[in-house]
Amino acid sequence: MPIAFGLQLLYKKRWIARWLQECGIRVWVDLKVSEKYRELNLLGVPDGYNAFATRCYADNLTGLAADFDIARRVSGLDRPNMLVYGGGRQAKEFCVKHGLIYSEQFMISKREEGLL
């Protein structure tokens, strides 16, 4: 994807986030973007902001660690307010170790329980 198109999509995310905040809705910064856009994704996010979310895959814990580092750098805190969705047992252990919020993937959980 060309950088200009990626910037357009990032601009849309920031514009919608600003509008939601004006309506009194708290917004979490979505850190799950292509590595190509990882630094550009922070455009419009002020230093000290402390609400982040990302999605993790079991085979991409290095991506989770990179997102965690970004959240720490922007927030200025060792334990930022960060939600991690999915990633399985290893991601959950990472979250517990670093004081992050972990949310299990609903469909994966149901499949493992034999309910699907």
Domain total in the chain = 1
The pLDDT of residue 57 is: 86
Radius of gyration of the chain (CA): 15
- Could you tell me which of 46, 65, 64, 66 has the C-alpha nearest to residue 56? 64
Q: Which domain holds residue 22?
A: 3-112
> Given a cut of 80, is residue 38 above it in pLDDT?
yes
Total-model pTM: 0.85
More confident residue, 106 or 20: 20
Residue range 24-37: mean pLDDT, rounded = 92
Residue range 40-59: mean pLDDT, rounded = 93
